[in-house]
Amino acid sequence: MKRTRKVKILATLGPASSEEEMIAKLYQAGADVFRINMSHTDHASMRTLVERIREVEKRVGRPIGILADLQGPKLRVGTFAQKSVRLKVGQQFILDDNAAPGDETRVHLPHPEILKAVEPGHRLLIDDGRLQLEAVKTDGHAIVCKVVAGTVISDRKGVSLPDTDLPLGALTGKDRKDLEAVLATGVDWIALSFIQRPEDLAEVRKVVRGRAWLMAKIEKPQAVRRLPEIIELADALMVARGDLGVEMPLEAVPGIQKQITRACRRAGKPVVVATQMLESMISAPVPTRAEVSDVATAVFEGADAVMLSAESAAGSYPVEAVATMNAIADRVERDPTYGGVINAQRSEPEATGADAISLAARQIAETLKLSAIITYTASGTTGLRAARERPHVPIIALSPVVETARRLSLVWGTHCVVSDDATDLDDMVDRACRIAYEERFAKPGDRVIITAGVPLRTPGSTNMLRIAYIGSDGLGGL
């Protein structure tokens, strides 16, 4: 199945979209990669979802990526004797290590690491910021707070700490079990929640050992402050605007989204924009105008992918949500201003031969109006470099490694094809031209440009450009 759209769509699976037929419908509507949220999925259900996605993959004959999203540390208050209490702005309220049920003066906080880490002046945001507290005094066992805004707190509400560096690792006990379970099924991407520091990624890499690519979810101010280091260690980033909008001023989130998107583009790392993109379609068959503009903004910025959460996982219109996102992206990419916006955000290539080759391939393809850029990529690196250039022509990524093709299905502009490796240069040209012809990206008489590494089958050695004609038989010629 050929898609002309360059930005990819990441759809979350859930109660509304867990059956194989529905997954197939979501793919046909435009989903390129499927997300399994381990916050709401047990191991047996996760394995079933992976099996169903792979069955759909066989049916459509296209590589489909799977992203497993780990829950990360969920910080919550304890319970109350009356289930909930009402507070007053300005009053004192205490979070402590006493396990007794809470009341109007205090509640248990079953996280000793928070009790030790919070300092006077730090903010504590309860229930997605609906209740805002400020620490006045701490002693390692209790945090005496002042109520700044909000009046209600109830059982097990979440706690966000925008000012506090928590001494927590990237993986909780649940995450470690989930990680081993999802890796055993062969998922392609692992998303890490609540990343604070680059060391969090290094810790997970030791466990993953190359079995999947790592996506760092940026949802804490601490991660924004160390963005360059996190980008260097991650394989991709997600702008997780939900929690980011809780821990940072809402008006700061759009600028941070642009900052992250452009930093990832400069680094050649994929970036996903997520959360509330078509939120109203959870219960309505059409989105709001503001939501359409939100999706369009991410596409104009050159994001690799846009994501649906509850819209496709638990909403009443999962197929319509994917189809709507597909239609928005397709229309934006055909807008006469789109190319200029994308071009204006290009950055200089890295000073390597492979990056120079990718730049030259894009320039030649656009100057000569070639039909496609075809990259041979075993590890995925060449495909990422081609996508970094954001060419106007399609990118066909050929890989003998099915896992690589699935991972690249998240990457901007890449049409991934699993193909046997070429035996020599002539076979490389013929194979590339035949696939461009069969996949309907080129017709006889058209020209394509091919990039590869010579000697063949040497990962990361992209050093060759070749322009080829598509012959009447679909094979290549000089």
Residue positions annotated with a catalytic role: 35, 76, 217, 275
Task: Classify 5 as helix, strand or coil.
Answer: coil
Among 414, 313, 325, 417, which Cα is nearest to 373's?
414
Q: What is the DSSP letter of 365?
A: H
Q: How far is CA 332 from CA 3, 99, 272, 294, 326, in A?
A: 15, 54, 17, 12, 10
What is the gyration radius of the CA atoms in the chain, in angstroms? 24
Beta bridge partners of residue 415, listed in sequence order: 396
Give, in degrees to the nearest 5, the angle at Cα 46 between 40 and 47: 165
- Separation CA 419–CA 404 (nearest Å): 11
Q: What are the structure tokens assigned to 296, written together?
A: 């369009």
Per-residue DSSP letter, 348: P
Name the residue among 4, 50, 22 with its Cα closest to residue 334: 4
- Whether 193 and 219 have beta carbons less than 8 Å apart is answered as yes
| Strand partners for 442 | none
Give the three-class secondary structure for 158: strand
3-state class percentages of the chain: helix first, strand second, coil last, to nearest 5: 40, 25, 40
